[in-house]
């Protein structure tokens, strides 16, 4: 097989994948991320991870393609990337003293055979009670405007939490490496 393809334009996912010391290239194609009516968050994350891998497959017909997508939910509300400071402030204010669940879908697609392997990581983040000044200070430091949930757990964002429950801290950043290693092993790509 040719090198791995990471079907993502996320610099965070690319940095995580580099930890595995594998040769890969990144490529992303536009995928409509609009949830289907009544679609649960976990199903949305999984569907989008598969769709992202499939969207790249025609350009890379003899590759293993990694697709991943993350959906965050707080009080039954989907949290997207805020895009700007005002939206990030609103998201963090709503998450103060709350539990936020992150579903990270993962897909490895063999574009030659069409076979897919999938998994889903679930991580719960418990926010401390945050004052408006604490939120403003955090936004000044990390500027997490391109991150679902408006924080970077790998940065100063860790100060926002009282605890995290999950199997893989990498999943919260956007790519569950432990599950990915398992899927790649199933595909015949042994790591380590």
Ramachandran region, residue 21 (left: φ > 0; alpha: ψ -120 to 50; beta: rest):
left
Which residues make Cβ contacts (< 8 Å) with residue 64, sequence separation at least 6?
1, 4, 5, 108, 109, 110, 111, 184, 187, 189
**Active site amino acids:** 69
Which regions in the chain score pLDDT beneath 50?
none
Question: Does the predicted model carry a pTM greater than 0.85?
Answer: yes
| Nearest partner of 24 among 42, 6, 50, judged by Cα | 6
| Residue 80: predicted pLDDT | 87
What local confidence, expressed as pLDDT, does residue 86 receive?
Answer: 97
Task: Give pLDDT, residue 190.
Answer: 87
The length of the chain, given as a count of residues: 192
Identify which of 30, 24, 143 has the alpha carbon closest to the alpha carbon of residue 87. 143
The pLDDT of residue 105 is: 97
> Which tokens belong to 38?
């009544």
DSSP 3-state assignment of 61? Answer: coil
142, 161 Cβ separation under 8 angstroms: no
């Amino acid at each position: 097989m040719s090198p791995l393809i990471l079907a993502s334009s996320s610099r965070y996912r690319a940095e995580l994948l580099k930890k595995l010391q594998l040769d890969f290239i990144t490529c992303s194609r536009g995928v409509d991320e609009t949830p289907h009516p009544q679609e649960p968050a976990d199903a949305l994350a999984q569907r989008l991870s598969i769709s992202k891998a499939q969207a790249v497959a025609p350009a890379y017909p003899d590759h293993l393609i990694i697709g991943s997508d993350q959906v965050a939910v707080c009080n039954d509300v989907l949290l997207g990337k805020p895009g700007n400071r005002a939206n990030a402030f609103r998201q963090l204010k709503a998450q103060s003293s709350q539990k936020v669940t992150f579903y990270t879908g993962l897909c490895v697609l063999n574009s030659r055979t069409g076979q897919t392997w999938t998994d889903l990581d679930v991580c719960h983040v418990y926010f401390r009670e945050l004052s408006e000044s604490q939120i403003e200070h955090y936004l000044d430091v990390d500027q997490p405007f391109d991150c679902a949930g408006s924080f970077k757990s790998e940065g100063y964002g860790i100060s926002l939490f009282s605890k995290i429950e999950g199997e893989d801290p990498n999943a919260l950043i956007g790519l569950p490496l432990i599950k990915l290693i398992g899927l790649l092993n199933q595909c015949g790509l042994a790591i380590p």
